[in-house]
């Protein structure tokens, strides 16, 4: 829509400006949501979306250039606001039909999404990166480009046998939701006197059921090490033979509503910390990367030798990617697989990291991993913890059609990360306090669709 490329940041920004500046033929009324179509129909033609004709069922209405959806129950306003919208949306392609019923609008401060049921399944079909916060009893949606989600693209593909790409813009959404204010008490001063009742009042209509909360699409944590390869590695230290025991669920992940899924082609390249690798390599320790993780070769740089970095491939557990209005606003959860063991026979410790997850989420960006340690003969069972805090300030990822890459993201030990890598003090050894610098990392999120 708008003829905009999906992958490059500049055209996207231009695209957005064009969308936001498109004049509205008329504004949405109270408790109405209006979608000014990105591709208005010409003449008497029916509007289309991704080549399929788009019609609506009452009380929703459509013109050649806009769709108006109306609330069928009192909206619920709050940090997450929800409105049940009457009517249906129908896409037709040849003899195939996709009907979206029980429409619901969900708005947070960061995003607005439109979901509906297809058969018995609820699908979040469209999403905009503009959210809204209610003021009193009223919530005004900021105008935003409503784009097809990855789930919406899959639903259209399976129902219509048609490919409409994730991120295709349906139109610009706007509207106002108003929660009914408390009814004025009868006989309030100033107003006209109430009319006398001439017929028996109808029994009060049952209060409409509040809309069921729509949970954001959760992105699962990976389970135990997904690589079933037999353990061919025996560490020359306090080894953990065989697969690691399952770690707990770990820190909560942000509830992203993805615009794309993240595939196994994703990668993380990270050295953890150069001096740590130096310590192991030069003072009698060893490291081993396996189950998909790999240790790159040491290289000579202009500033001297640099130790090889670890690469971790994407896990089979699907991550999530939310394409922002600009690349700097992109958010992602990238699950990785592979395991790295840091062993020191003479100092008597082993630190194992596996199943890393990189979360790119503004100030909450972090690296989570399963950490299985044996510092001094006592095994600390595998536990999923935040290893590092990431500083995304000033980092702008680069996008291609199917990848988004964050390069050189500064990382620092979290308090759990500090505990995983620091000696206890009894047998000597160094430590990294929380906040101490780790190596910057590079993560590539491969997307399931452009
Ligand atoms: C018998 C026990 C241990 C001895 C004798 C020992 C000895 C040492 C020595 C001599 C250094 C300084 C290396 C240098 O920079 O020149 C060092 C650094 C360090 N040790 Fe140990 N260590 C022991 C146990 C541990 C344990 C259990 C841990 C926890 C995983 C640990 C973590 C560290 C860390 C994080 C450093 C700092 C490495 C850096 O420079 O970045 N050590 N240790």
Q: Are residues 150 and 269 in the same domain?
A: no
Q: Are residues 312 and 164 in the same domain?
A: no
The CA 12 to ligand 1 mean position distance, Å, reads: 49
Classify 423 as helix, strand or coil. Answer: coil
Classify 14 as helix, strand or coil. Answer: helix
- pLDDT for position 441: 98
Q: Are residues 281 and 400 in the same domain?
A: yes
- 189 within a domain of the structure (yes/no): no
Largest CA distance in the chain: 97
**Which helix (H) or strand (E) segment is 415 a member of?**
helix 415-421
State the closest ligand 1 atom to the C-alpha of 375, by its place in the atom list counted from 1: 27
State the closest ligand 1 atom to the C-alpha of 376, by its place in the atom list counted from 1: 27
Q: Are residues 29 and 170 in the same domain?
A: yes
The CA 356 to ligand 1 mean position distance, Å, reads: 24
Q: Cβ(178)–Cβ(30) under 8 Å?
A: yes
Model confidence at 328: pLDDT above 70: yes
Instruction: Encode pLDDT of 166-202 as tens digits.
Output: 778 888 888 888 876 433 323 233 333 333 334 444 5
The band of 345, judged by pLDDT with boundaries at 50, 70 and 90, is: confident
Q: Are residues 430 and 303 in the same domain?
A: yes
State the closest ligand 1 atom to the C-alpha of 431, by its place in the atom list counted from 1: 35
- 198 within a domain of the structure (yes/no): no
First to last CA, the chain: 14
Whether the predicted model's global pTM rises above the 0.75 cut: no
State the closest ligand 1 atom to the C-alpha of 346, by its place in the atom list counted from 1: 1
Tell the residue nearest (CA) to atom 36 of ligand 1.
430
How many CB atoms within 10 Å of residue 135? 9
The band of 443, judged by pLDDT with boundaries at 50, 70 and 90, is: very high
**DSSP assigned state of 50:** T
Last residue of a domain, one of 150, 178, 206: 178
Percentage, residues of the chain above pLDDT 70: 77
Last residue of a domain, one of 135, 159, 178: 178
Question: Ligand 1: which of 374, 428, 438 to mutate, judged by most atoms within 8 Å of the beta carbon?
Answer: 428
Q: Are residues 290 and 431 in the same domain?
A: yes
Give the C-alpha separation, 9 to 323, whole Å: 10
Classify 382 as helix, strand or coil. Answer: strand
Domain count, the chain: 2
Last residue of a domain, one of 155, 178, 201: 178
What mean pLDDT is predicted for residues 206-231? 50
Q: Is the dihedral of CA 159, 260, 325, 113 positive or negative?
A: positive
Q: Are residues 162 and 266 in the same domain?
A: no
Q: Ranked by mean pLDDT, which of 164-173, 185-194, 201-210, 435-444 comes out on top?
A: 435-444
Up-side HSE of residue 447: CA atoms within 13 Å toward CB?
A: 25
- pLDDT for position 17: 29
Nearest by Cα to 96 from 172, 156, 178: 156
State the closest ligand 1 atom to the C-alpha of 283, by its place in the atom list counted from 1: 13
- 244 within a domain of the structure (yes/no): no
Give the C-alpha separation, 237 to 47, whole Å: 68
Q: Are residues 269 and 415 in the same domain?
A: yes
Model confidence at 227: pLDDT above 50: no
Question: What DSSP letter does each residue of 153-203 carry, written as one string?
Answer: HHHHHHHHS----TT-EEEEEEEEEEPPPPPPPTT-TTSPPPPPP-SPPPP
Question: Ligand 1: which of 235, 347, 377 to mutate, judged by most atoms within 8 Å of the beta carbon?
Answer: 347
Which of 15 and 312 is assigned the larger pLDDT? 312
Judged on CB neighbours under 10 Å (0-12, 13-18, 19+), 353 is: buried
The CA 279 to ligand 1 mean position distance, Å, reads: 7
Which of 187 and 80 is assigned the larger pLDDT? 80
Classify 357 as helix, strand or coil. Answer: strand
The band of 104, judged by pLDDT with boundaries at 50, 70 and 90, is: confident
Residues in contact with ligand 1 by the CB-under-6-Å rule are: 275-276, 279, 283, 347-349, 351, 375-376, 421-423, 427-432
Instruction: Encode pLDDT of 122-156 as tens digits.
Output: 677 888 877 887 887 888 887 888 888 777 887 88
SS (H, E, C) 269-305: EECCCHHHHHHHHHCCCEEEEECCCEECCCEEECCEE
The CA 376 to ligand 1 mean position distance, Å, reads: 12
Give the C-alpha separation, 401 to 5, whole Å: 9
Tell the residue nearest (CA) to atom 15 of ligand 1.
279
- pLDDT for position 11: 33
What mean pLDDT is predicted for residues 57-70? 88
- 3 within a domain of the structure (yes/no): no
- pLDDT for position 266: 97
Q: Tell me how far the alpha carbon of residue 318 is from its chain's centroid.
A: 11
Nearest by Cα to 104 from 69, 78, 155: 69
- pLDDT for position 16: 29
Tell the residue nearest (CA) to atom 24 of ligand 1.
429
Model confidence at 433: pLDDT above 90: yes
Q: Which residues, in sequence order, are CB contacts of 136 under 8 Å at separation 6+?
A: none
Tell the residue nearest (CA) to atom 38 of ligand 1.
276
How many CB atoms within 10 Å of residue 281? 14
The CA 428 to ligand 1 mean position distance, Å, reads: 7
As separate numbers, helices (DSSP H) first and strands (DSSP E) second, the chain gives 4, 28
What mean pLDDT is predicted for residues 346-375? 93
Residue 38: both structure tokens together: 């990105």
- pLDDT for position 399: 97
Q: Cβ(58)–Cβ(8) under 8 Å?
A: no
- pLDDT for position 404: 98
Contacts 24+ apart (CB under 8 A), 110-114: 111/257, 111/322, 112/141, 112/144, 112/146, 112/173, 113/149, 113/257, 114/146, 114/173
The CA 391 to ligand 1 mean position distance, Å, reads: 27
The band of 237, judged by pLDDT with boundaries at 50, 70 and 90, is: low
Model confidence at 372: pLDDT above 50: yes
Instruction: Encode pLDDT of 306-327 as tens digits.
Output: 788 999 999 988 899 999 999 9
- 227 within a domain of the structure (yes/no): no
Tell the residue nearest (CA) to atom 22 of ligand 1.
429
**Which helix (H) or strand (E) segment is 16 a member of?**
helix 9-21
What mean pLDDT is predicted for residues 328-337? 96
Distances, alpha carbon 362 to alpha carbons 205, 206, 297, 412, in Å: 47, 44, 32, 15
Residue 446: both structure tokens together: 């491969």
Domain of residue 301 covers 260-446
Model confidence at 217: pLDDT above 60: no
Instruction: Encode pLDDT of 373-423 as tens digits.
Output: 988 877 788 899 999 999 999 999 999 999 999 999 999 999 999 999 987
- 276 within a domain of the structure (yes/no): yes
- 44 within a domain of the structure (yes/no): yes
- 209 within a domain of the structure (yes/no): no
Q: Are residues 173 and 271 in the same domain?
A: no
């Amino acid at each position: 829509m708008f003829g905009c490329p999906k992958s490059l940041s500049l055209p996207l920004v231009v695209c957005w400006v064009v969308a936001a500046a498109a004049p509205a033929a008329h504004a949405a009324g109270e408790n109405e949501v209006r979608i000014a179509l990105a591709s208005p129909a010409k003449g008497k033609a029916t509007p289309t979306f991704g080549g399929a004709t788009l019609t609506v069922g009452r009380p929703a209405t459509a013109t050649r250039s806009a769709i108006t959806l109306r609330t069928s129950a009192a909206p619920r306003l709050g940090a997450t606001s929800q409105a049940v919208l009457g009517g249906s949306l129908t896409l037709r392609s040849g003899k195939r039909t996709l009907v979206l019923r029980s429409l619901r609008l969900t708005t947070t401060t960061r995003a607005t999404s439109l979901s509906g049921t297809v058969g018995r399944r609820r699908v979040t079909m469209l999403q905009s990166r503009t959210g809204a916060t209610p003021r009193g009893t009223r919530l005004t949606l900021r105008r935003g480009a409503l784009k097809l989600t990855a789930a919406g693209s899959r639903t259209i593909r399976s129902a219509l046998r048609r490919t409409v790409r994730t991120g295709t813009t349906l139109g610009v959404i706007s509207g106002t939701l108003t929660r009914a204010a408390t009814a004025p008490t009868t006989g309030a001063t100033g107003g006209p006197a109430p009319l006398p009742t001439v017929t028996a009042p109808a029994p009060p209509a049952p209060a409409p059921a509040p809309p069921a909360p729509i949970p954001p699409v959760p992105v699962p944590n990976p389970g135990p090490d997904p690589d079933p390869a037999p353990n061919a590695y025996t560490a020359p230290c306090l080894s953990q033979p065989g697969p690691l025991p399952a770690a707990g669920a770990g820190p909560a992940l942000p509830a992203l509503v993805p615009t794309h899924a993240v595939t196994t082609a994703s990668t993380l390249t990270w050295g953890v910390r150069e001096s740590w690798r130096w310590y192991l390599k030069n003072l009698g320790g060893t490291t081993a990367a396996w189950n998909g993780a790999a240790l790159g070769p040491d290289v000579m740089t202009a500033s001297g030798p640099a130790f090889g970095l670890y690469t971790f491939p994407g896990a089979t557990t699907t991550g999530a990617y939310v394409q922002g209005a600009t690349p700097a606003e992109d958010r992602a959860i990238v699950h990785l697989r592979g395991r790295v063991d840091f062993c020191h026979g003479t100092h008597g410790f082993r630190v194992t990291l596996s199943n890393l997850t990189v979360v790119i989420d503004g100030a909450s960006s972090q690296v989570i991993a399963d950490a299985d340690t044996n510092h001094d003969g006592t095994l600390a069972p595998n536990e999923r913890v935040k290893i590092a805090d990431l500083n995304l300030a000033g980092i702008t990822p680069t996008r291609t059609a199917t990848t988004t890459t964050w390069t050189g993201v500064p990382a620092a030990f979290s308090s759990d990360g500090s505990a995983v890598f620091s000696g206890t003090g009894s047998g000597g050894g160094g430590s990294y306090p929380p906040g101490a610098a780790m190596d910057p990392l590079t993560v590539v999120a491969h997307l399931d669709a452009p």
